[in-house]
């Protein structure tokens, strides 16, 4: 039974759906999807078209908005919006260290998780669309990994779409994970250099924290083992509009004097564990590299292997000389499954996923080349998370896709830019700009 309730300026309705775990076996096991319907409070009785929002990730539930912030207010001028918790996330049937043992051992868990990529998410959307729209096509807004899903939607079921809007999420159609990370590490270094140019005092602060972690065993209050590699991974912040400032404030008061000497402060540790823990989104760690798997080649901990090709990211070498410590970015590494108590029970499962050689293609270049769905994409210049070159190559491969290339925003422009990003994409898709 659906339940409706109000927030400022919006009426929300909880929606739940049952879909097959494996859409190739529709009579087999099922899972539950949760979505939140949103409509402007002054338009509840109107027959509005639908827009489904696909969150970034993988592994994150849809935004829990309060009222009509960011892009949502603009969308509600034209649409009823469905905020979908993609399978395994949010209030949909969860996949985490507590629930995955219900599947059996690590091999069964890994087999189960092969059904949590973009193709299955698109099939979920198509399974629930008739129940939501009565069969009419809907618009889709895909942010980051949600954009990957949108390109898969245009490949697998374009008949279900009236409009496709993508923000920071045009994937390479054929790159292996190794190609993705070889392009990523130089971008990450540029972001770190820019951060230190803005906050030069952070060079010494980061080196001091890294040196402490190389010589001390630090376990955060939640049981997370804070290694120097884990500390470096806080560079993921640098891909967001406020990330450089947030990293600076984290570093500025990292130490406190105690009877045992200087130690990392409780305040620093509390913030760090909140940023580093995967307890709320373990699927991100488990299937992050699998979203790039499209053939018989295993991903094989791609980011960890490729990082070794960039020795400037080696903390010990940087500290042995006078080089600044380089932070890392959006990547998953095997040591995370040792450091994070939310991931430790899933280490073997992750190893099996990294070794798989039966990944199937997620995109159909021929169908994309014949695309007839009005489509527009925001491409953020030097986006830390999605390579601009890969994105523009894909944009050229999708017939009729219009791009807006901008350096005004970082990867989170659809949030940070308020209604402007969505307004621009809608104008492009409608040939109004």
What is the rounded distance in angstroms from the CA atom of residue 14 to the CA atom of residue 5? 9
Q: Is 358 a catalytic residue?
A: yes
Backbone φ, ψ for residue 424 (5° rounding): -65, -45
Contact present, 239 and 384 (Cβ < 8 Å): yes
Among 115, 155, 411, 412, the active-site one is 411
Q: For residue 404, list its beta bridge partners.
A: 378
Distances (CA, A) of 129 to 83, 337, 364: 13, 37, 22
What is the rounded distance in angstroms from the CA atom of residue 22 to the CA atom of residue 36? 23
Contact present, 367 and 154 (Cβ < 8 Å): yes
Among 115, 119, 144, 212, the active-site one is 144
- 337, 315, 338: which is closest to 326 by C-alpha? 315
Q: Is 322 a catalytic residue?
A: no
What is the rounded distance in angstroms from the CA atom of residue 114 to the CA atom of residue 117? 7
Among 27, 217, 322, 358, the active-site one is 358
* Dihedral over Cα of 216, 222, 223, 227: its sign: negative
Q: Which helix (H) or strand (E) holds 163?
A: strand 161-167
Q: Which helix (H) or strand (E) holds 139?
A: strand 138-143
Burial state string for 269-301 with b = 16 or more CB within 10 A and e = fewer than 16: bebbbeebbbbebbbbbbbbbbbbbbeeebbbb
Q: Is 144 a catalytic residue?
A: yes
In angstroms, how far apart are the furthest CA atoms of the chain? 69
Q: Which DSSP symbol is given to 239? A: G
Q: Which DSSP symbol is given to 344? A: G
Structure token digits, residue 293: 């798997």
Q: What residues act catalytically?
A: 144, 358, 411
């Amino acid at each position: 039974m659906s339940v409706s309730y109000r927030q400022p300026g919006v009426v929300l309705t909880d929606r739940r759906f049952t879909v097959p775990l494996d859409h190739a076996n529709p009579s087999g096991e099922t899972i539950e999807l949760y979505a939140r319907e949103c409509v402007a409070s002054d338009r509840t009785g109107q027959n509005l078209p639908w827009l489904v929002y696909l969150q970034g990730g993988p592994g994150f539930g849809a935004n829990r908005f309060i009222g009509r912030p960011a892009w949502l207010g603009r969308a509600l001028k034209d649409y009823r919006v469905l905020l979908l918790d993609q399978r395994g996330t949010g209030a949909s049937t969860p996949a985490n260290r507590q629930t995955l043992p219900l599947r059996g051992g690590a091999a069964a868990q890994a087999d189960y998780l092969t059904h949590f990529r973009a193709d299955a998410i698109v099939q979920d959307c198509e399974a629930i669309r008739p129940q939501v729209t009565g069969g009419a096509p809907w618009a889709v807004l895909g942010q980051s990994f949600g954009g990957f899903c949108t390109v898969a939607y245009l490949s697998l079921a374009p008949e279900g779409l009236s409009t496709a809007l993508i923000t920071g999420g045009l994937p390479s159609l054929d790159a292996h994970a190794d190609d993705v990370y070889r392009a990523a590490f130089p971008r990450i270094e540029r972001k770190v250099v820019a951060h230190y140019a803005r906050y030069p005092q952070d060079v010494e602060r980061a080196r001091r924290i890294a040196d402490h972690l190389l010589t001390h065993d630090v376990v955060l209050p939640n049981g997370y083992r804070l290694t120097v590699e884990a500390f470096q991974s806080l560079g993921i912040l640098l891909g967001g509009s406020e990330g450089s400032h947030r990293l600076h404030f984290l570093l500025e008061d990292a130490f406190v004097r105690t009877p045992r000497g200087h130690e990392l402060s409780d305040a620093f540790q509390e913030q760090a564990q909140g940023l580093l823990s995967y307890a709320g989104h373990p699927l991100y760690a488990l299937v992050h590299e699998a979203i790039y798997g499209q053939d018989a080649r295993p991903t094989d901990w791609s980011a960890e292997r490729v990082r070794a090709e960039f020795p400037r990211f080696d903390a010990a070498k940087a500290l042995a000389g006078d080089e600044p410590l380089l932070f890392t970015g959006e990547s998953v590494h095997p040591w995370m499954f040792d450091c994070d108590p939310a991931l430790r029970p899933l280490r073997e499962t992750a190893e099996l996923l990294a070794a798989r050689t039966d990944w199937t293609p997620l995109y159909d270049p021929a169908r994309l080349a014949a695309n007839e769905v009005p489509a527009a994409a925001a491409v953020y210049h030097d986006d830390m998370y999605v390579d601009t070159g890969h994105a523009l190559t894909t944009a050229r491969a999708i017939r009729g896709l219009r791009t807006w290339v901008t350096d005004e925003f970082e990867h989170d422009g659809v949030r940070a830019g308020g209604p402007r990003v969505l307004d621009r994409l809608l104008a492009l898709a409608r040939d109004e700009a």
